[in-house]
Chain A
């Protein structure tokens, strides 16, 4: 099956620093990638939809200036958490859609556990 690579898998940073998370589709081109966040004991929540070559679409309540998304190529999207604070500590996971297709064509990365001290 299709593979989505997400790095890093775990990051610990100091409050106020910025953290970049990469999401790559390894064997297919993804015009659309998605970023989710999951707090403990809660569900995966969609943060934003990343479209190649255009601005990301953010879900309600997600600060676009804090969570910068760049989708510069058909195989790479990045999420940068700017000026991270302890409340940003969470599990972040990306997914990519293999061109046309519904939910079954969504392939997920393995996630990034962010801990902000």
Chain B
């Protein structure tokens, strides 16, 4: 049972435009969500997070939106840059400091010039 879903395996966006990566979850007990970015031959690196008490968190070009009623979150990257091309993983946990992260399957973003 996939508790965290990223239904789009890939996304292609032109440089300068907005990239929107989506993530859905099924477990209403999740209250902390993270996005990781992964380049080839490297491990995932933390990008941005949001707790369930918020509906938006922004860090530079990256903004994460959380819609608890829809059990949906999204990552917006604007403007997109070629260096953003990577695989993006959504992850969820049941509390802020839990060890157990449940990951999505990832979305491969390609930003072309």
**Interface residue ranges, A against B (CB under 8 Å):** 1, 4, 6, 9, 32, 34, 36, 41-46, 49, 93, 95, 97, 100-111
Contact = CB atoms under 8 A, between A and B. Distances in A.
Contacts of B100: 46, 49
A6 to B, nearest CB: 7
B88 interface: no
Interface in B5-54: 9, 32, 34, 36, 41-46, 49
Contact of A103 (B9, B43, B91, B105): B91
Contacts of A100: 97
A36 B43 CA distance: 12
Interface string B83-113: 0000001010100111111111110000000
Given A4-B43, A45-B103, 12 more contacts: A9-B41, A34-B99, A41-B105, A46-B101, A95-B43, A102-B49, A103-B34, A103-B91, A105-B46, A106-B46, A110-B42, A110-B43
A107 to B, nearest CB: 7
Contacts of B44: 44, 108
Contact of B97 (A41, A95, A101, A107): A101
Chain B, interface size: which category?
Answer: 20 to 34
Contact of B45 (A1, A36, A43, A97): A1
A109 B43 contact: yes
Contacts of A49: 99-100
B4 interface: yes
B2 interface: yes
A97 B98 CA distance: 11
A111 B49 CA distance: 23
A103 B93 contact: yes
Contacts of A6: 43
A102 B34 CA distance: 10
A42 B43 contact: no
Contact of B43 (A41, A93, A101): A93
B101 A106 contact: yes
A34 B104 CA distance: 17
B49 A103 contact: yes
Nearest to B100: A46
